[in-house]
Chains A and B, each alone.
Chain A
Amino acid sequence: MKPAPFAWCAPATLDEALDLLAGHADAARILAGGQTLGPLLNMRLATPSILIDINGIGELAGLHPDSAGLTIGALTRQSTLEDDPKLAALQPLIAMAIPHIAHRAIRNRGTVGGSLAHADPAAEWPALATLLGAHLLARSKSRGRRLIGAEEFFITHLTTALAPDELLCEVRVPPSPPGAGYAMLEFARRHGDFALAGAMVRLTSDAGGKLTDPRLVLFGTGRRASRARRAEAMLAGVSAGTALFAAAAATAATEIDPYDDLHASAEYRRHLAAVLASRALEEALARMNGKRHD
């Protein structure tokens, strides 16, 4: 478990980093928190010839809330978010999801941008970005600044729309709609493991109690986290209820393309998706109605 030889460089500025990326592109890997890349290097599953260590680029880290929402620098550590007392009010779903990301020691180093750029279909961040309608800012020497919608950003398993010379710099999350009720449920073999399946929900309603713009994202159940559009359509504009949720969850489970792996068959994942979606819808409704404050 020793990495193959590689060159390491630590640019002090974003501009330098982009220059290096432009010069090496495919041969380079970005080193941020190193919580995924480190093991991949040690197991020689990744053998880049150059590592561009962005940890010294201070401008890439930090939270910037404004009227347009919350901008999170790519180098922001998961634990920085976890410890931010304002986060739960600004973005309740992100606050719910962070504790499920691996373990505290990993969250101390692991970064938001690293998780997004890695694009594991069972990870929390791609699902969050997808549900919340986030935009991701990529920068490069060849293309300049490029703002990519989450649903365009995540292409498939471990594959994003980032070009080889592009660096993910920040994620922009629109403001949480007033009165929204959120839920996030995932089932993993152990706490902190990648989810066998997970569901995230955001519910909002109009004055008459009809659901407006309901969002349901399933993750760990296909090549990428995805919105269950048909289930969402079933819920939009109607009054929420348990029977409807069960039907919507069942529909959502038909919208995914689950896979077999060591820990779960595709059939079981599809089943889990339906159970978790249904339970998450119930929880989100309870929160929207103010009956649940945990």
Chain B
Amino acid sequence: MNVRDFRHIGKEMAERPELRRFLSGQGRYIDDFALPHMLHAAVLRSPYAHAELRSLATAEARALPGVAGIFTAADLGPAPQPIPVRLNPYATLDPYLQYPLAAGRIRYVGEPLALVVAASRAIAEDAAALIAIKATELPAATDALADPPAALFPEAADNIACRFTDGFGDLGEAMQEAEEIVEFAFHTGRHSAVPLEARGLLAAFDPGRRRLDVFGFTKVPHFNRAVLARMLGLPERSLNIVVPDVGGGFGVRGEFYPEDFLIPFAAMRLGRPVKWIEDRLEHLMAANHSREQHYAMRLGLTRAGRLLGLEVQLVNDMGAYMRTHGVIVPELSAGMLPGPYRFTAYRCDVRAVMTNKTPTGTYRGPGRFECNAARERLLDVAAARIGIDPAEIRRRNFIPPDAMPYRLGTRALGEEVIYDSGDYPAALADVLARSGYKADRHAAPAGGPRRGFGIGCFVEKTGKGPYEGARVALDPSGVIEVATGATSLGQGLETMLAKVVAEAVFQAPERILVRSGETGLLQFGGGSFASRATVLAGNAAWQAAQELAGRLISAAAGRLGTTAGNLHLVPGAVAAADGNTLTLSELAHGADPLGPELAVTVYFPTPHMAYAHGAVVASVEVDPALGRVLPLRLWVSYDVGTVINPDIVGAQIEGGAAQAIGGALLEAFVYDSAGQLQNGSLADYLLPVADFVPPISHHDLGRSPSPLNPLGVKGAGEAGLVGVGAALANAVADALGLPAAVDRLPMTPERVWRWAQAVRAAA
């Protein structure tokens, strides 16, 4: 089917299926669920960054009226299990895994020490405050660049949990050939996702049936079910996972955290439902942090600006434990760092270093917000060195469209990076033309605000396999049901699936019932992460729905006494050439239980990810005397292949850009040398608010469908974020007129002021 023949795909829906629920307050979030006799939990968290835990005195807390139970590590049984790594679980990471409660060594502020369960959250917090923690403080390791790194784990000789190298080509030869060598160091600040709704869980155990209901694993429910079942010693199918709506996921929500074991465990032990709702202070210290990376880069190029060799030392501050993402964040950085450019040789040596800070994981665009900013800054520095415009050095080095598919030579998420399609020069040309790049950069009065423009080009991995499933079935009402293991994180999954299935079965999208996430729907499920739901669940639903369409026609042929060739699907019915029809409801009610099932399950596999791409131009105003940066406007040109719903993709671009503005200008978790988080509330951890997010003008190039899947789609969930930090950093450097000044994110006012002073000192 050609793209232009689609009736639903690529067009807006009059009313997207999930919107009425969300806009009218009918969304059901974790705290909307309540069960009779439910108790409430609070987590006692460590006030120490690094300490030997001597004892927890709980007697006074246990005696507080309303307290139902207090659990410490000793209560978890003789052989507690650590939380495993979900993605790329190397055995060498095992010593660094986190147990649900600290026993012996405490390794970060916020680490769970005990779970308090009581009649109300307030009582649970009162009781937690009564627990006396006896611990011997140890020196905290807070600097991943420290040499030598302190050992934090008895099983490990030092702090470096993992070293690896990615790259291609003969770097020595490439550097030999280079006429210019540019060295540049870049740092991205530790920050993370702050979803509007923090985490939460509700668990209830039925001891008679030994059945456990868990509400709240919205992201990767099948994986979390398997982990929880193993830790609790239950069969997986004794667990019923209910997946509520969520107020934002962004990578941090829905991974398996200590609380995801503790709450069901407490519900089983106490024989009553237990709810835990993470508050904002907890979220900022307990949910995964991300993004803290240091790059030391050395670039060899010709005087004509041709890129030759790139040598990088990358240090990733992992925090105190390996969480479910293992080391995929630095792996993604190393694998994606070359971006849309051709290098002769590339080598990235990575160190994943443990510190006494909150453990890290993925945050929307993991590893790419960072590596794109580092590389795009480096290119601006190099362009200035050889005296050409930043746009020009990029034009001279793009991987050309006729080189697709392009085997980059690196690895990401455990597979070879092969760019499947894309026109990288076109994206830059489009965004330059739309932005009027540098056209209105006026001559600024001395000391006054200065205007700057910056470019950020990116390639973005999407659609991580190995598979996702969809089951498409005819409901007796005549409605078509589609069920998937992917989960709805507010990304418009229901709209996407309704349209894809509607397209294949020739029904109105309003007649498609979408169900997602619950583990009972399908035997296997991957979940929603890595911009994968549309690529994998979308294509699975597309193939399943096409097959179901054939089965409906075959079944109708028997009933109508004609051949399949005479029949076609029309809204609500199968119609014959002679005008005879059989409604889908009649078809369902008359279905032969011994005949072919009017339901089709397809697992769509993909051996390789699909790579979206794009280019960003940012314009900023910098007041060098104050250090103030005002983002004035962002232009984003992107290509995510076939677009199912343009509104949703546009919103993904805008939302991602807003989060990148936070990471570029405002957000950073600050620790003191004792490992205390200094800005653990939203009074001091600054999120971008409306007056910080400028107009965002975006354009879908729509010229590079993926050859890797029937729909030609690529994921769009993270593309809006990954180039914006780079563009803003380059724009600030441009405004200051000193290309090498901007060497870290976020660009706080004081940093900008100091960079500007360096400009004056140099002048």
Question: Which residue numbers of A lie inside 8 Å of B, CB to CB?
Answer: 1-5, 39, 43-44, 187, 189-193, 196, 262-265, 268, 271-272, 275-276
Contacts and interface: CB of A to CB of B under 8 A. Distances in A.
Given A2-B125, A272-B626, A275-B626, A187 B749 contact: yes
A186 to B, nearest CB: 11
Given A4-B126, A4-B129, A193 B686 contact: yes
B551 interface: no
A189 B280 contact: no
A263 B666 CA distance: 10
> Which among B689, B691, B749 has the greatest number of chain A C-beta atoms within 10 A?
B749
A268 B750 contact: yes
Nearest to A45: B681
A252 B541 CA distance: 69
B86 interface: no
B692 interface: yes
Nearest to A44: B129
Interface in B637-679: 666, 670, 678-679
Contact of A275 (B122, B126, B625, B683): B625
A262 B684 CA distance: 8
Contacts of A189: 666, 686, 748-749
B717 to A, nearest CB: 26
A271 B683 CA distance: 24
Contact of A262 (B129, B281, B666, B678): B678
Given A5-B126, A190-B691, A275-B626, A263 B280 contact: no
B103 to A, nearest CB: 26
B16 interface: no
Given A190-B691, A190-B692, A265 B125 contact: no
A269 to B, nearest CB: 9
Contact of A43 (B122, B281, B679): B281
A1 B279 contact: yes
Contacts of B121: 2
Given A4-B126, A264-B750, A272-B626, 13 more contacts: A1-B279, A1-B281, A2-B125, A5-B122, A43-B281, A189-B748, A190-B689, A192-B689, A262-B679, A262-B684, A264-B749, A268-B750, A275-B626
Contact of B753 (A39, A192, A271): A271
A140 B678 CA distance: 38
Interface of B: 121-122, 125-126, 129, 279-281, 625-628, 666, 670, 678-679, 681, 683-684, 686, 688-689, 691-692, 748-750, 753
Nearest to A5: B126
Given A187-B628, A189-B686, A262 B670 contact: yes
22 contacts: A1-B280, A2-B121, A5-B126, A43-B281, A43-B681, A187-B626, A187-B628, A189-B686, A189-B748, A189-B749, A190-B689, A190-B691, A190-B692, A191-B689, A192-B689, A262-B670, A262-B678, A262-B679, A263-B750, A264-B749, A264-B750, A268-B750
A266 B280 CA distance: 29
B681 to A, nearest CB: 7
A65 to B, nearest CB: 32
B189 to A, nearest CB: 13
Given A2-B121, A5-B126, A268 B684 contact: no
B69 to A, nearest CB: 18
B126 A39 contact: no
B338 to A, nearest CB: 35
Contacts, number: 55
Given A187-B628, A189-B666, A190-B692, A2 B122 contact: yes
B686 A190 contact: yes
Contacts of B670: 262
Nearest to A278: B625
Nearest to B679: A262
Identify the 3 closest CB pairs spanning chains A and B, nearest first. Answer: A2-B122, A1-B279, A268-B750
Contacts of B122: 2-3, 5
A39 B750 contact: no
> Which among B626, B678, B681, B683 has the greatest number of chain A C-beta atoms within 10 A?
B626
A5 B748 CA distance: 39
Nearest to A185: B626
B753 A268 contact: yes
Contacts of A263: 684, 748-750
B759 to A, nearest CB: 15
A5 B688 CA distance: 34
A264 B627 CA distance: 11
B254 to A, nearest CB: 22
B594 to A, nearest CB: 59
Contacts of A2: 121-122, 125
Nearest to A3: B122
Nearest to A265: B750
B194 to A, nearest CB: 14
Contacts of B753: 268, 271
Contacts of A4: 126, 129
Contacts of B681: 39, 43
A43 B683 CA distance: 12
Contacts of A43: 281, 681
A224 B688 CA distance: 28
B104 to A, nearest CB: 28
B732 to A, nearest CB: 15
A259 to B, nearest CB: 14
A276 B688 CA distance: 24
B75 to A, nearest CB: 24
Nearest to A194: B683
Contacts of B126: 4-5
A264 B753 CA distance: 11
A187 B749 CA distance: 10
A107 B143 CA distance: 41
B686 A191 contact: no
A68 B226 CA distance: 75
A271 B749 CA distance: 12
Contacts of B750: 263-265, 268
A194 B301 CA distance: 47
Contacts of A262: 670, 678-679, 684
Contacts of A271: 753
A205 B61 CA distance: 67
A7 B735 CA distance: 56
Nearest to A197: B626
Contacts of A272: 626
A156 B681 CA distance: 24
A39 B753 CA distance: 32
Contacts of B689: 190-192
A196 B691 contact: no
Nearest to A43: B281
Contacts of A268: 627, 749-750, 753
Nearest to B683: A39
Nearest to B682: A39
A212 to B, nearest CB: 29
B595 to A, nearest CB: 58
A158 B407 CA distance: 62
Contacts of A191: 689, 691
Contacts of B679: 262
B531 to A, nearest CB: 29
A44 B128 CA distance: 12
A68 B448 CA distance: 41
Nearest to B627: A268
A75 B3 CA distance: 64
A43 to B, nearest CB: 7
> Which among B280, B281, B625, B666 has the greatest number of chain A C-beta atoms within 10 A?
B625
A44 B628 CA distance: 34
B65 to A, nearest CB: 12
A191 B753 CA distance: 19
